Amino acid sequence: MDQSTLLPFPGAVPRQHDTALAEIEAAVALVEFGLATRVRLVGIAHIEDVAAAGLARAQSSGVEFALDRSASGAVAVTLGPRTNT
């Protein structure tokens, strides 16, 4: 029988989009479970690229979602408060 060699498999590296969506999901959870009334996310790379998925997650959890762009072009996401649904 041939001898086999195990090759190390590199760990998964999260993409920036995955990280941005995880930030939104964490903020939704904070509001959903009553640990925060509102959470504002600022300075997160690629957050506008995952805003649609974040909006869907917020809506399914009964949390308000707002995407804001400042005059300088900076994007912020505000989650909360809970909706009355």
How do residues 5-43 score in pLDDT, each as one tens digit?
Answer: 776 766 666 688 889 999 999 999 999 999 999 999 999
The pLDDT value given to residue 60: 96
Residue range 36-65: average pLDDT? 95
Compute the distance between CA of residue 64 and CA of residue 26 in angstroms, rounded to an integer.
14
Model confidence, pTM? 0.80
Residue 65: both structure tokens together = 């979602």
Residue listed under structure tokens 């408060």: 81
Residues 6 or more apart whose Cβ sits within 8 Å of residue 16 = 45, 46
b/e map 2-40, b = 16+ CB within 10 Å: eeeeeeeeeeeeeeeeeebbebbbebbbbbbeeeeeebe
